[in-house]
Amino acid sequence: MCHGAQGRATTQGYFPRLAGKPSGYLYNQLQSFRDGRRHHALMAGLLRNMSDDYLHEIAGYFAALDVPYPAPGPSGLDAAQQARAERLILQGDPARKVPACTACHGPSMAGREPAIPGLLGLPRDYLVGQLGAWRSGLRRAHAPDCMADVAKALSIDDIAVVASWLAAKPAGAHPEPPSTTPLPIACGGSRHERDPDLPPSAPAESGAAPMRAFVRLLIGIAIAVPVMALLLLAGAWGRELWLSGRPVPSGAEGTNPALIARGAYLARIANCAGCHSPRGGAPLAGGMPLGTPFGTLFSSNLTPDPETGLGRWTSDDFWRAMHHGRSRDGRLLYPAFPYTSYTAMSREDADAIFAWLRQQPAVTQTAPGHQLGWPYRWQSALAVWRLMYFTPGDAPSHDEPGGGRLADQGGGAAQDVAGQAALARGRYLVQAVGHCAECHAPRNRLGALRDAAGLRGGWVGVQGWIAPSLADPHAAGVQDWSEADVRAWLRTGWSTQGSALGPMADVVAESLQHLTDADAQAMAVYLRGLPREGSTAAEFKPATSGQMDLGRQVYAKHCADCHGDQGQGRQIDGQPAYPPLAGNRTVRLDAPQNVLQMLADGGYAPTTPGHPRPYGMPPLRQVLTEAEMAAVATLIRQSWGNRASAVTEQEVLRLK
C-alpha cells in the first residue's frame, strides 16, 4: 500500500523502495521503527508487537526480491549544481569533515552487505526527508552517529543538490560485499506522543427570577459554596490521614529466588513494563507519556535507583502504593496508575513484584512533571476524588485466592472444588492483577470506574479505541466459546473468531502470552462465566445509495483481495489468514471507532509462539479521503448480513 507491489516503491515520493536492499539494513530499520529509534507513527504501530524472528523473515523476503528499477527522471540541476553534487558524493569535503558518500555506501552506491543501504533508485523527496531528519536530529543512531555528523555539516542547498543528483541516476547494481574496514551503521529515530485533550465541560444552567430573590440566591451561594468546599476538603484529608494511619499487613523483604521468579511472572501479567518502559528507553525507567482527558501524566521510574526510582523504598512503601494509591513521600497517586484494581492484590504478590523490581538494573532518570489542567493538578482535588470513588479493598490471601471484596460471578454451586478454585483464581487475575476493568469498564466524567466487575466496555484513554464489553457475546464476550478457544486466544492473540488488534495486541504481546497453562485456564473459566448481558440496540441509520456505491468502489480496489468479494475472508495454505467481515463482531459494534482505527492506521496481531506469522492490515490513512473511509466502513457494516449504522465523514475527522 505504501511501498508498492514487491517493494518497488510507489509514485508517492516519501516511501522508499524495499526490494533488493541488504537484509541486515532492512532488519535494523524495522527494529528501529519498532523500538522507537526511528519516528514514523504508522510504521511504529504496525511493527510494535512483532518479534525479532518475524522481522528477520520480513527483511530477508524483501532483500531477496530482484525486480527492475524504473527509469529515473531528470535531475533539474544546472552545471554548477551538478558539479557540486558530484564533488560531495564522490569526493566529500575534507574541510567540513564530510566523507564521500561512496566511502560507506560503495563505489556504485548500491549499498554494502550486510547493513548499509544503497542510495540509488530512491525518490528525491525521500532522500531530502531523510537527510533533513538526520540534520535536525529526528533520526539518530547509537554512537558514533556518523550520518548525523555528516548531515549537520551539510547546508540545506547541499542536501537539495545531492538528493536531486542521486534520484536522477539509474540503479540496478546489487549491494557490494562487506568492506574490509569497519563502517558505522546509521539508524534511529524517536517517537513523541502527546494528546492534550481536555474533558468536556457541563452545560451551564440558566434561569430567571425577580432581582431581589436573585441577589439573595447569589449571597447564599457565596456563603455556602466556600463552607461546603472547606467541609468537603476537611473530610477528604481527614479520611486520607485515617487511611495513612491504618496498620499495614506484615510483609517480607527478601531475595529468595522463588519469590523473585514469582514477582517476575506477576509483573509480566500486570504488564508493568507496558506503561513504565517507553519504546527506545531503558526498561522500567518511566517517563512514558500517558494521555488522559485531563492532561498528560508521566509514568514513574520503577528501577532501584536511590535518587529517581525505588531504591529507598521498602516493601511496606510499595504495598501502600499498590493498595492505598499513596507514594513513599505521602503524595496521592493519580489513578492512571491502576491502584483502583491493584488494591485487591494480595500482600504476598505485591511483595514478590517488589522483590523482582529490586533486582533490575538501576537507571537514573527523573520523570517529567505531569501536565494537568486546573484543578486536576491539585492534591486536594485528588483527595476529594478518592473520597467519592476509591476505597482500599481487603486484599485476598492465598487461602482465598481472588477473594476479599470481589463478588462471586458465574460458575454455580455445582462446580467441584477444583472448578471453584479455578474460578476464584481467574477472578483474581482478571480483576486485580490483570486490571482488565481499567479498559473494559465504563468511566464517568471524572474518570472513575463504573461497575468495574461488570466489564461492560469502555474507552481506552484518549487513543480513540473502544474496549468492547466482555459481558456481551455480540461484542467481546466469550460465553459461547470453548475453554480451549479462550485459553488459546489469551496466549496467542488470534483465533478463527478474531484477532487482538490495537491496544489489545499490546496486552497480549507484553502480558497475556506469558500466562501459565493453569492461569490461562482460570481466566477462561472466569470470563466464560460472566453474566451474559446484551447491549441496548442503537438507532439504525441506513446509508445513502451514493455512499454505498462509493464504498463498493473503495472495497473492490483496496479490500476484496484479502477479505473476499463477499466479506468471507481468505485462507492461505489452508489456514485462516484474513478474517471474514461478514458477521464480524468488531464490524457490527454500535460505535465504529475500532473499524475506523484499523482502516486509518492498519495493524497486526502480536507475534507469539502460537501465532508467529500474523497477516496484517495496511494503513489507509494517507490513501483514502474522509468520504472514502466513511463509505467503505459503512459498506462493510451494512453488507453480507451485517446491520450497523452508517459512518459519517465527521466521525472520520474526529478520529484523525
pLDDT tens-digit map of 13-34:
678 889 888 899 999 999 989 9
Instruction: Name the pTM for this structure.
Output: 0.77
408 or 227: which leads in pLDDT: 227
354 or 497: which leads in pLDDT: 354
Percent of the chain predicted with pLDDT > 90: 56
C-alpha to C-alpha distance for 43 and 356, rounded to whole angstroms = 33
Distances (CA, A) of 286 to 22, 260, 295, 330: 35, 21, 17, 20
Residue closest to 321 by CA, chosen among 287, 359, 268, 357: 357
> Residue 469: its pLDDT value, please?
94
Element (H, E) at 460: strand 458-460
Percent of the chain predicted with pLDDT > 70: 85
C-alpha angle 86/87/91, rounded to 5°?
A: 115
Distances (CA, A) of 3 to 8, 54, 619: 6, 19, 11
Q: Per-residue confidence at 124, pLDDT binned at 50, 70, 90?
A: confident
Cβ contact 119:105 at 8 Å:
yes
Q: Per-residue confidence at 188, pLDDT binned at 50, 70, 90?
A: very low
pLDDT greater than 90 at residue 204: no
Q: What is the 3-state secondary structure (H, E, C) of 443-455?
A: ECCCCCECCHHHC
> Residue 207: its pLDDT value, please?
45
pLDDT greater than 60 at residue 408: no
Distances (CA, A) of 384 to 88, 246, 329, 381, 441: 65, 19, 19, 5, 22
Q: pLDDT (tens digit, 9 = 90+) per residue, 60-80?
A: 999 999 888 888 888 889 999
> Residue 244: its pLDDT value, please?
59
Q: pLDDT (tens digit, 9 = 90+) per residue, 530-572?
A: 999 876 667 889 999 999 999 999 999 999 999 999 999 999 9
C-alpha to C-alpha distance for 504 and 524, rounded to whole angstroms = 16
Examine residue 304 and say whether the peptide bond preceding it is cis (omega within 30 degrees of 0): no
CA atoms within 13 A on the CB side of 645: 13
409 or 614: which leads in pLDDT: 614
Rounded to 5, what percent of the chain is helix, strand, coil?
A: 45, 5, 50
Highest-pLDDT range among 128-142, 393-407, 569-583 = 569-583
Q: Which of 93-102, 207-216, 642-651 has the lowest mean pLDDT?
A: 207-216
> Residue 411: its pLDDT value, please?
45
Q: Which residues contact 524 (CB under 8 A, 6 or more apart)?
A: 426, 478, 483, 486, 487, 490
> Residue 242: its pLDDT value, please?
55
pLDDT greater than 70 at residue 404: no
Q: Per-residue confidence at 230, pLDDT binned at 50, 70, 90?
A: low
Q: pLDDT (tens digit, 9 = 90+) per residue, 260-306?
A: 999 999 999 999 999 999 888 899 999 999 988 889 999 999 999 99
* Tally of helices (H runs) and strands (E runs) in the chain: 26, 9
Question: Rounded to 5 degrees, what are φ and ψ at 506?
Answer: -60, -45
Pairing mode, strands 494-495 and 498-499? antiparallel
The radius of gyration of the chain from alpha carbons, rounded to an integer in Å, stands at 28
Q: pLDDT (tens digit, 9 = 90+) per residue, 127-164?
A: 998 899 889 888 877 777 888 899 999 999 999 999 99
The average pLDDT across 627-651 equals 95
